[in-house]
Amino acid sequence: MGLPEVYCSVCGASFGNPYDSLVDDPNTAYLVQGHTNHDFEVSKTRPPDIRNADVTFQWLHDAQLFGIPSSLETSEELKPVVYADMPAYKRTDEHPAFFGDPYCHYGEGNVFHLGGRTYPTHYPINNGDILFAMHSNCANIIKRVFVAKQDGVIAKDGLPTLRAYYDKLRQQCPGYVDEWWNIYWPHEYYGACDYWGYDEWEYAKGCQKFLVDPLHDKNLTAFVLEVLKPAQPREEAPLLLSKTSNRRTSGLDSLPTEIIDQVVALLPTASALSLRLVSSTFATRIQLTQRFFREQLLGGNLVPYLWDLDVKACRDMQQGVPEGEDPDWYWDWRQLTRYLNDVASIVEHDPDSSGIPRGFWNRCRLWLTVVEAEVW
């Protein structure tokens, strides 16, 4: 029995090459059917581009560390400490960062190799900082959450910045870390830690959904278009102010409707809703119709985790309506948006029985683990 395995502090999945242990076990060989050991080899530089690959586990190789930059200068010389004796946290003005270049990879126990040096993770160093180990794709999703906060797509309440997020992780870590330096956050990774073994991930029925690449899902667009249904009952186009109206307008109120539509499509949804309050004219011209929800959704302003959605395919679908129907009002974009925005409900459903693509389900799970850190 070797040193205990350490698991990703964001998704709860393992690091490293799973192929050999899987193919040798008749109970798990089906997980890698059609793959070769070469598919899972760790690159000496960086893993190959996986956007067009169909390798389930490739993303698990690429690791990063998350912490305060100065931590990298001191952590190599430090030994593990007992959390009860943890030094007082001396917060600095440094912004936390993600470290993965040159190539970072998992060693053994809670140790990672980065740039020719070794770094222990998930325990405090002399100033109270902690380095958190995670997959690069998990780090990417963390960044996207805080970009969405910065852009106003999601609320900034709770943890508005990456610094606030790091401080929360660092503050809560002592209460959830075990003797093997694995972190059992309150959400328990929505089931991933059920597969934690002492020195390796336990590949068993139901574990695959936690291991699929969350950053790229080629099945997302087909799934979204399958969920999109005709509106019941049909909406009618709103009555707008006539262009020949005698009402005197000035400033923004005088802009053509086409220009207002283009502006609204570029705004975060919260800003678009605020614009409706500027005047009664805007309240009339910016209506919460199927068209509004469609443009906000396809513009990335409503659901920030649909980055690989094929917008062109969605617009082509929009035009496919029965004769006599208006493409702007036929499809229920409002209901689609409501469904996709309920990330907690998506995660509650098993992707293998619900039809939710595994990669998208895993993405929603990780998104939820980040935003739920606010309520710990």
Residues 6+ apart with CB under 8 A from 194: none
* pLDDT value of position 287: 61
The rounded distance, in Å, linking the Cα atoms of 255 and 264 is 12
Spell out the per-residue pLDDT of the chain, length 376, in tens: 567 889 999 999 998 656 666 767 777 676 666 666 655 554 433 334 333 333 467 788 889 999 998 877 765 544 444 444 545 556 667 889 999 866 788 888 888 988 888 888 998 876 778 999 999 999 999 999 999 998 888 887 789 999 999 999 999 998 999 988 999 999 999 999 999 988 888 877 888 899 899 999 999 999 999 999 999 876 555 544 333 334 445 566 667 767 766 776 667 666 766 666 666 666 666 666 788 889 889 988 889 999 999 999 999 998 989 998 988 889 999 999 999 999 999 999 999 899 999 999 999 999 999 998 988 7
The pLDDT score that the predictor gives to residue 43 is 41
The reported pLDDT for the residue numbered 37 is 62
Q: For residue 81, what pLDDT is reported?
A: 47
Residue 107: its pLDDT value, please?
Answer: 83
In 127-148, which positions are buried (b, 16+ CB within 10 angstroms) versus exposed (e)? ebbbbbbbbbbbbbbbebbbeb
- The pLDDT value recorded for residue 280 is 67
Q: What's the pLDDT score for residue 25? A: 73
Cβ contact 130:124 at 8 Å: yes
Residues in the chain: 376
